[in-house]
Amino acid sequence: MFHITCLKCSVCQRTLGVTPCYPMHAFSSAFRCSDCHREATSPKCHGCKRPTFEKCVSAFDAYWHESCFKCKGCKKPFKRQEYVVHDGCAYDEDCYYRFVVKVETTTTNKKEKSFKD
């Protein structure tokens, strides 16, 4: 039993009062507010490591914010989430052809260009 003003979120210390709260662990007397609970239980973005509250992308067995899932070549977010995978990296179509696909440099010589970090 708690006074309504004494019940605080164990993470951010905000007074919980009559707002929804969640136990930190089973059989715990420590509670967290709905914001801290959502942050603790939401999947983390593979790019920035922050919680993915809003719409996210699932790729490479991980979750990403749409703005964090970017082309390896140009570092821009993907349009319409269309990408090509090469050696575990995602490229937009232009960068894939620019940095990965064999490009004919002369009529007799061929070189493979690869993008370096």
In DSSP notation, 30-96 reads -EEEHHHHHHHHSPBBTTT-SB--S-EEEETTEEEETTT-B-TTT-PBPGGG--EEETTEEE-HHHI
Element (H, E) at 102: strand 102-104
Per-position DSSP letters for 12-30, written without gaps between them: T--B-TTS-EEESSTT-S-
**What is the per-residue pLDDT for 48?**
92
Which CATH fold topology does 56-112 show? Answer: Cysteine Rich Protein (2.10.110)
**What is the per-residue pLDDT for 74?**
94
Average pLDDT, the chain: 79
Residues of the chain with CATH 2.10.110.10: 56-112
- Which residue type is seen at 17? G
Whether the Cβ atoms of residue 76 and residue 89 lie closer than 8 Å to each other: no
**What is the per-residue pLDDT for 75?**
94
Q: Is the model's pLDDT at 83 over the cut of 60?
A: yes
- Any bridge partners for residue 114, and if so which? none
State the CB neighbour count (10 A cutoff) for residue 48. 12
